Amino acid sequence: MLDLVLALPRRALGLARVAVNAAEGIPRIADALEELRDAVKHVERLATFAAEELPEVVYQLEAVREQLDSIEQRLTATSPAKNGKSSTKKKAAAVTPASRRNG
């Protein structure tokens, strides 16, 4: 019985320490939640920016592709194999859609 009476203050002290540690952790948890909330707001702003800008980027890429297609057609049309010119100089290979790209 005496052991039980003496053990009670030790257990109470242990519970008090746990409660104090938990109470000290609450501000850290609140700070972490605030940082998380700020991060979510930032991600939302980035997503909104991306959603607004992606159509413009796609439009610009399509315009670049059209320019490249136009250049490719001009190169193909002016290649020596197409226009029938023959010379003693080394002939350049014809540029075709299947040709290897470099640079």
On whether the CB atoms of residues 77 and 94 are closer than 8 A, the answer is no
Cα angle value 53/59/60 (rounded, 5°):
90
The count of domains in the chain is 1
On whether the CB atoms of residues 80 and 95 are closer than 8 A, the answer is no
Whether 88 is covered by a domain: the verdict is no
State yes or no: pLDDT of 79 exceeds 90.
Answer: no
pLDDT at position 102, please?
A: 66
Whether 52 is covered by a domain: the verdict is yes
Whether 11 is covered by a domain: the verdict is yes
State yes or no: pLDDT of 66 exceeds 90.
Answer: yes
| 12 residue type, one letter | A
Q: Is 96 left (phi over 0), alpha (psi -120 to 50) or beta?
A: beta
Tell me the three state secondary structure of residue 18: helix
State yes or no: pLDDT of 92 exceeds 80.
Answer: no
pLDDT at position 95, please?
A: 65
Whether 80 is covered by a domain: the verdict is no
d(CA 8, CA 17): 14
Whether 84 is covered by a domain: the verdict is no
pLDDT at position 78, please?
A: 82
pLDDT at position 81, please?
A: 58
pLDDT at position 6, please?
A: 78
Q: Which residue has the tokens 């746990």?
A: 18
State yes or no: pLDDT of 48 exceeds 60.
Answer: yes
pLDDT at position 68, please?
A: 94
Which pLDDT tens digit goes with each residue over 1-42? 777 777 888 888 888 898 888 888 899 999 999 999 999 999
